[in-house]
Structure 1
Amino acid sequence: MQKSTLVALAIALTSRLSLADNSDTLPTLNYPTQGQQLYATAAAEKDLLTITAQPWFKVTGEAWQLEGPAFDRQGNLLFVEVLGGQVLKVDTQGQLQVAVAKNARGSAGLAIHKDGRLFVAGLGNYVDTGNLTVYDANGKKPEVIIDANKGFLVDDLVFDAHGGFYFTDLKGTSTEPTGGVYYVPADHKSIVPILPNMANANGIALSPDGKRLWVTEFGTGLLHRVELKDAQSIAPFGAVVVYRFHGPSPDSMRVDADGNVYVAQYSQGRVLVLNPNGLPIGQILLPGREAGHFLFSTSMALKPGTREVYLVANDGDRGQGSMIFRARGFAQALPLFSHQ
């Protein structure tokens, strides 16, 4: 046998022995004791001012998808249960009531008019039969404002000072952006496109002066800031993306009196707070998220006259049901019906 062949065989044998002998010392990635770190935050947000909310009210032991919390003039907290279509209410005595019974229209968002009427956004069949239905303050006398045959998936809405409202159309995907943002004037006779071609337009809010519209895009993880020329048009160069969220996925949002934007992070169990320039300045975590609980945080309400933030979430298949949590934000809530 040639010397070169022997050398090659020796090197091969040594390599095999080396691989076998060193396997126990191979650098290894291991999960922490809490599990797969679904609660982890991006490096850019890790060192933000951070607080953890407290449990306030347990809605049910089931994993209901809660959305759209809003306070009425009497101080009751109303919110929707998405799959069942019902509107629920925690009154000032801490009692849970049904404001609108279960129905086939579905429910995804809620806004309360200054006259007490409930504007309920519905997803219908979750494909193309979304709607917007208005009820009186007692949850009766339904009146359809946006009919199911219009082809929208009405997800969330916010009133403006002119008596109209903006709403998000949740349609589309990250590669087929067919949703958007629309405006309905006070007479409810038209639907005006504002931001078309969006991938699951979701949360929507107005700045304290009503001149800046904020929108989250669920499918692409974007935060849009829109400077309005008037109620139905955007100022020149006024529509920009000011933040790209990390991980899934920006859901509903609210604005405080200082113009800070509170965005629920669905699947992360937290709310990220950004200043009026769209830069993150703080976050509110939900308790138990480090063990994978209450990651499905969808929305929040800011209680008028206070700095209190009420966050709604559910525990998915982890067994702790659906809950409302409470914390304090940076600034007071906007006055009730400030944009109407």
Structure 2
Amino acid sequence: MTNSKKTQIHDELITVKSLVKRFEKKQGTIFRKTKSTVHAVNHVDFSIKKGEILGIIGESGCGKTTTARMIMRLTKETSGQILFEGQDLCQMGERELRRVRPQMQMIFQDPYDSLNPGMTILEILMEPLHAHRVELSFDDKRKLVIEALEHIDMKPAETFLYRYPHQLSGGQRQRIAIARSLILKPKFVAADEPTSMLDVSVRMGILQLLKSLKEDMGLTMLFITHDLSTAAIMCDRIAVMYRGDVVEIGPTNKIIYNPTHPYTKALVAVVSDLNYFLDHRSELILDGEVQNEGEQGGCPFLARCPQQMDNCRIGIPKLEQMSADHYVSCFHHHPESLMSANKQAN
């Protein structure tokens, strides 16, 4: 028993426990301001195993990017734990984080904003080496830059060293952003919708590049997207987020071919058969948008769920196991969770 627990902990590179993020939002005129609380992430739990790609999907405003930014320590959590190889990043000071940061890198959504337009490609790719590999000579760093460019299929590499970002195409810029993230040979990469700003014609090339780099370098990856079809191509497992909560998580095949949560079913229906979705929309999802402001009572999907019951207003369903590595938070599928919520309410 003890040995199996140790193996499980060893296999998990990232573990997120009860992660919460609240934002204070000011509204009104200059003479009369009101404050409201945005519940961006609500007690999220998941883990990422070494060498796998975990996808987080959901519509805009569901909290997926905020979750990634907290893991990367770009946004501070309200509460919760983020474990990297068993170490709690939330408890680390700046000096300790500086030691860990080379092992955790992020690929941002917009290659037009993430690259400094006043720097050459050589300077952009040398920047992380200057910060974290100070012991290397300039020539050694230049060799690493050339290797990184060749690794992302920008050849001959020497012809790109002294170009500026505006002299590259969108796909080439994103490849540079990927090379910058990987030049330190990190263990973990968070990719925040890395193809959403690119032309359709170049998206598949970037996705194939990421998959090949993941295999070559043994990377562990968090892949953020709103596109279920992209997640199906890229990910080993998928977590579905709605209104700051993970409502379903499991192996990609289970999510795609056997969706269980009502929200996941609606997402899959759009991708698999748009005509079917339009004809049966009211049976799958009610009209509305993600609203994260104010106190949340009951199931986060309550307002848009066509299967809602009065009892769904009582408490928030917890992720419960459906099958091996497949978890769903829905009172319809776990009535025992509803009984527990009733007890807590009373």
Q: TM-score normalised by the shorter chain: which range applies?
A: under 0.3
TM-score in terms of structure 2 length: 0.26
**Relative contact order: is structure 1 or structure 2 higher (C-alpha 8 Å, sep ≥ 6)?**
2
> Which has more helix, going by share of residues?
2
Q: Which has the larger radius of gyration?
A: 1
TM-score in terms of structure 1 length: 0.26
